Amino acid sequence: MPRPMPAEEEDLYTQIKKIINKGSGETKPSKIKMQRAIPEIVTPSGNRLGPYGQNEIVLVDNLSDAKFIIDNKLGEIID
């Protein structure tokens, strides 16, 4: 994926991923590579994430939490 990705394309990618996951009947955790070290945070959905180190690869089960990480440039989705 190109970096930096235009915000519109990133939103479209996230929406497509949600549709694909809904169609499969189960949601797969998002594999995210953290772009910077972060302390423990509370996401808008109320979940606690972290602490994570820079370049650490984490699995995020909640799609809204994964979107929060990506939207705030804390990490990027990897496959």
Q: What end-to-end distance do the CA atoms of the chain give, in Å?
A: 10
**Of residues 59, 60, 54, the one with CA closest to residue 74:** 54
Residues in the chain: 79
Residue 8: which pLDDT band, with cuts at 50, 70 and 90?
confident
Fold (topology level) of 7-77: Ribosomal Protein L9; domain 1 (3.40.5)
Q: What is the pLDDT of residues 13-69, one digit of tens each?
A: 878 877 776 665 556 788 999 999 999 999 988 889 999 999 999 999 888 899 999
- Using only the alpha carbons of the chain, give its radius of gyration: 12
On whether the pTM is more than 0.75, the answer is: no
pLDDT at 9: 84
Domain residue spans of the chain: 7-77
